[in-house]
Amino acid sequence: MKNNILQIAVGLLMICGVSDTKTYSQNIYPSSGGEIIFSFADVESNGLSIKSDMRFTCWFHSEQLVNFDVNDNLGFYSGIGFRNIGINFVPDDTTFIKRRSYSAGIPIAFKLGSFDKAYFLFGGAEFELMFHYKQKIFINDKKEDKETEWFSEHTNLFNPSLFVGIQFPKGINVRFKYYLFDFLNQDYTEEIDGVQYKPYENTSTQIFYISLGINMFKKDDK
Domain limits of the chain? 30-214
CA distance 69 to 42: 37
pLDDT of residue 4 exceeding 60:
no
Scored b (16 or more CB within 10 A) or e, 170-186 reads: eeebebebebebbbbbe
pLDDT-derived band of residue 26, with 50, 70 and 90 as boundaries?
Answer: low
Q: Which residues contact 166 (CB under 8 A, 6 or more apart)?
A: 120, 121, 122, 173, 174
Give the predicted TM-score (pTM) of the model: 0.82
Look at residue 47 in the predicted model and tell me its pLDDT: 86
Q: Give SS3 for 99.
A: strand
Q: Give SS3 for 171.
A: helix
CATH number of 30-214: 2.40.128
* 138-165 tens-digit pLDDT: 998 888 889 999 999 999 999 999 999 9
Inter-residue contact 185 to 204 (CB < 8 Å): no
Higher per-residue pLDDT: 18 or 37: 37
pLDDT-derived band of residue 135, with 50, 70 and 90 as boundaries?
Answer: very high
114-125 mean pLDDT: 92
Inter-residue contact 107 to 78 (CB < 8 Å): yes
Nearest residue to 213 via CA among 10, 33, 12, 63: 33
